[in-house]
Amino acid sequence: MQFDTFLMERNQTLFENGVEINLTESGVHPCTIEEIMPADAAQALLSLPLGYGWTDGRPDLRSAIASWYPGASASNVLVTNGSSEATMITLMAMVDPGDRVLFAVPNFMQVDGLGRALGMNVQRLPLLPDQGWQIDPDAQAQAVSGGVKLIAVTNPGNPTGAVLSPRSREVLLEAARKAGAWLLVDEIYRGGEIDGAETETFYGSYERVIVTSSLSKSFACPGLRLGWIVGPEEVVEEAAKRQDYTTIGSGILSQIVGAAVMAPENRERILARGRALLRENADIVQSWIEKRNRWSWQRPEAGGMAFLHYDFDMTSEALSNAFREEESVFVVAGSWFGIENHIRIGIGVKTEHLMEGLARLDSFLARRGLA
Q: List, for residues 53-87, the tens digit of each pLDDT value.
A: 999 999 999 999 999 999 999 999 999 999 999 99
352 pLDDT exceeds 90?
Answer: yes
The percent of residues in the chain predicted with pLDDT above 70, rounded, is 100
Domain-by-domain residue ranges, the chain?
A: 7-31+267-365, 36-263
281 pLDDT exceeds 90?
Answer: yes
Range with the poorest average pLDDT among 95-104, 140-149, 344-353: 140-149
Beta bridge partners of 27: none
Determine the CATH number of domain 36-263: 3.40.640.10
**Closest C-alpha among 54, 114, 80 to residue 230:** 80
Residue 256 to residue 118: CA distance in whole angstroms: 33
Return the pLDDT at 95: 98
Give Dmax (Cα) for the chain. 60
Contacts for 182 with CB less than 8 Å, ≥ 6 apart: 94, 95, 149, 150, 151, 176, 208, 209, 210
351 pLDDT exceeds 90?
Answer: yes
Return the pLDDT at 337: 94
Return the pLDDT at 1: 87
Which one is the CATH code of 7-31+267-365: 3.30.700.30, 3.30.1280.10, 3.90.1150.10, 3.60.10.10? 3.90.1150.10
The three-point CA angle 7-8-14 to 5° equals 90
338 pLDDT exceeds 90?
Answer: no
Q: List, for residues 123-158, the tens digit of each pLDDT value.
A: 999 999 999 999 999 999 999 998 999 999 999 999
Q: What is the CA radius of gyration of the chain?
A: 20
Q: Decide if 7-31+267-365 and 36-263 have a common fold.
A: no
